[in-house]
Structure 1
Amino acid sequence: MAVLVVALVGGTLVFGGYSQRDALDPESAGADGTRAVVRVLEQQGVRVVIARDRRAAERALEGGEASLAMRDAPMLSDDALRDVTGRARHVILLEPRSRTLDVLLNGSRTGGFADDRAVAADCRVPAAANAATARVGELMTPGDGVRGCFPVDGEVGLLFSEANGRTVTALDALATATNATLPLDGNAALALAVLGQTDTLVWYVPSPADADRAADAPTLGELTPPWVTPGILMLLVAALVSALWRGRRFGPLVTERLPVTVRANETTEGRARLYATARDAPHALDELRRAARSRLQRLLGLPTRSAPDQVVDAVAERLGADRARVRAILADDRPRTDRDLVAAADRLRDLEASVRAAVRTEGTTR
């Protein structure tokens, strides 16, 4: 037997080719696969049926005389787990977790890990007693009425429960039944004895698609009263209608037709007349000067925000006039009466006309 197992394991790893599958996959030739133990079981007359979904496993277990080997299936609810395993005569849990152990082995749970060494069976369970020793890997703590084998520091490497001729066995197959670990110590004898208890072994590979609704966490919709969702939808519709009703409607830009177009200089003169009516000659002249300086800036090509002194310098230079005289007209003269205001406005107009004539003459000469 030992020679046969070693030969099959070597042939599987070398000539079987490596297929990219999960650990403990019965068709995987990788180190963590279990193709070797499947081949040995088939040579011993055991028919191995590989089921890659729950429905296929249930069909293969019809009749209740087959054994079921399966990895942990967290996607199944407790009831679904009991339903699937309840169809088999013998159940072998290859990678047990605490929830599965609690459901199927009466409150058992996982524990620590054993050192990488052979552990004595030290129990009367036939499959374990025949193997004598094995490398058990993950350890477990048995629940009420559950027997344990391969003890290590108060925990065990194999759990076994029997009721009405039906058995449930749990062991760490990663340490016992993979292509890499099967030839070690008594691993082969243990794995073959546990998996070969009936003529048919259904090897169930759980799929995420096997999940049933009972295993899912409740959704927000399931936790809220049935009227909440329609109420939220009605509020959203009301908000949308309100937005369409009260929201601004943007369209193409249009030019508004004004009844009268008022020139900028007329606005300035009108403001000056208001100052004159209020007998505020200095402010009225300031408005006229501000408008005149703005026009002179454009005539002389000065920046829009030029200081008054810059405008004075530019006008004096262009006309060849006395700078102090130009400054008095554009900035310094302070009228006291309406007569002074009229005289200052005339001087301002004459200065602007002189600059315009000088600019026009210079442009014609060039």
Structure 2
Amino acid sequence: MSVSATDTRQPGPAGSLADTPEAVPVTARPQARKFLAWLRQHRGLTAAGVLVAAALALVIGTQLAPKGDTIPLSVHNAGPDGARALGEILGRHGVSVHTPARFDAALNDLRSGSSPTLLLYDRNGILGEPQLAALISAADKVVVVSPRLETVTALDSGIRQAGVVPDGFPVLEPGCTHPDAEAAGQVTGQGGFVYDGGTSCYRTAGTAGMLAVSNDGRLAVLGNRAVLGNDKLDELGNAALAVRMLGKSPDLVWYLPSLEDVAVTGSGKTLDDLAPDWARFLGPWLVLVALAAVLWRGRRHGPLVFEPLPVVVKAVETAEGRARLYQDSRSIGQARDNLRAGLLVRLSGKLRLGPGATAEDTIAAAARLLGMDATAIRALINEHPATEARLVAWSQALNKLEKEVMTR
């Protein structure tokens, strides 16, 4: 047999050419060398191409990234709890939606607007009574969404907080003569709050409703932000109620107070303001008691003793400690189950039954080995001692049975 001069491969121990590394197709190597040589020759062009591709990817990623924020009920939030959809609808109806970020900017927008409407959602109760009074006096109409108790009290409009909408009322009927509520019809009630005073609509029981309008009509309190949110805006009459309440003026100031307004207004209360008067005397007394406790229990009782770790604990000590715990807690049933399970595992290993052996298999094998009736052994192993004395006697009987099996 003749071998080609261009074939330099040698057969392996079994005479197979496929067992050697040279079995890889030889056409792949010249192509790889040509590609590497082309990269070295045009490395400047290659680097420029990589930079251009990275820049394009960055630009495309920036353009495709979602715009806006994640603030609840923000007109820039396109999430389920945002109000971007309502802002777009109001804009298409000719309403200029202003979104000031600070209290001063909101006040300026109200004073420079044409009979402006103010939407206020102060979910953290940041604004105080002077700030709320200034905003209400500068606005032609005010819509307050889910105000806190402090905010409702500071409004001083005769509207009071009256609880929450029960879970059994996911949809609420207008139930009043207010034109906005009558035109909108049913709205979402789940998760809302109810208020009493003025003209109340969307009532669940009594006089309290999810929408309360002051007697002069300038102030409206809406107890459910879901009516204005993106998630529920297209359901029932939510959109109609939102547009009618907020779209009557050409200028709408959409103001969501933030923590930045706390430093400006100074309305936030410190822990010292919230603490009762007697807390000022309790603090020094607690410090004195703590120092006395440190002096009493913190003294040294001699030099430190170093003990090598890990500490080896004998198995018998562990067993005795667990037995004492069972005794203290009167856990007769738990102790019985542990003794029975341990006996069956050891007997199964001695009788070479394997890990899948059941209790009945172990009992039958032990009876055959000892030449005894399986009924007696089964009755002994499955017994449920009712007292501690019987538990001790039963465990001794199990120990005797185990010794008999182990000695065979």
Structure 1 length-normalised TM: 0.51
Q: 1:41 aligns with which of 68, 90, 99?
A: 90
Matched, 1:142 2:196: yes
Q: Given the superposition, is the C-alpha separation of residues 204 and 61 from structure 1 closer, same or farther in structure 2, using an over 3 Å criterion?
A: same
The equivalences for 1:265-280 within 5 A come to none
Matched, 1:159 2:208: no
Matched, 1:66 2:111: no
Partners of 1:198 and 1:28 in 2: how far apart? 23
Counterpart for residue 27 of structure 1 = 76
The offset of 1:75, in angstroms, is 1.7
Counterpart for residue 56 of structure 1 = 105
The equivalences for 1:97-246 within 5 A come to 97-104=148-155, 105-115=157-167, 117-137=170-190, 138-143=192-197, 146-154=198-206, 155-163=208-216, 167-211=218-262, 212-217=265-270
Partners of 1:99 and 1:91 in 2: how far apart? 17
Contact 2:101 2:255 in 1 (8 A): yes
For structure 1, the 5+ residue unaligned runs are 1-14, 225-366
Partners of 2:200 and 2:180 in 1: how far apart? 12
Partners of 2:270 and 2:107 in 1: how far apart? 25
Q: Which amino acid aligns with 2:138?
A: R
The offset of 1:205, in angstroms, is 1.6
The offset of 1:63, in angstroms, is 4.7
The equivalences for 1:282-361 within 5 A come to none
Partners of 1:218 and 1:112 in 2: how far apart? 29
Matched, 1:82 2:126: no
Provide runs of 4+ in structure 1 moved above 6 Å.
Answer: none
RMSD: 2.5
**Alignment coverage as a number of residue pairs:** 204
The offset of 1:16, in angstroms, is 9.3
Partner SS for 1:61? helix
For structure 2, the 5+ residue unaligned runs are 1-63, 278-408
Contact 2:174 2:203 in 1 (8 A): yes
Q: Which amino acid aligns with 1:140?
A: V
The offset of 1:126, in angstroms, is 1.3
Partner SS for 1:48? strand
The equivalences for 1:240-259 within 5 A come to none
Partners of 2:230 and 2:161 in 1: how far apart? 27
Structure 2 length-normalised TM: 0.46
Contact 1:150 1:157 in 2 (8 A): yes
Partners of 1:37 and 1:107 in 2: how far apart? 26
Q: Which amino acid aligns with 1:62?
A: R
Q: Given the superposition, is the C-alpha separation of residues 110 and 27 from structure 1 closer, same or farther in structure 2, using an over 3 Å criterion?
A: farther
Contact 2:199 2:215 in 1 (8 A): no
The offset of 1:206, in angstroms, is 0.6
Q: Return the index of the structure with the highest Cα Rg.
A: 1
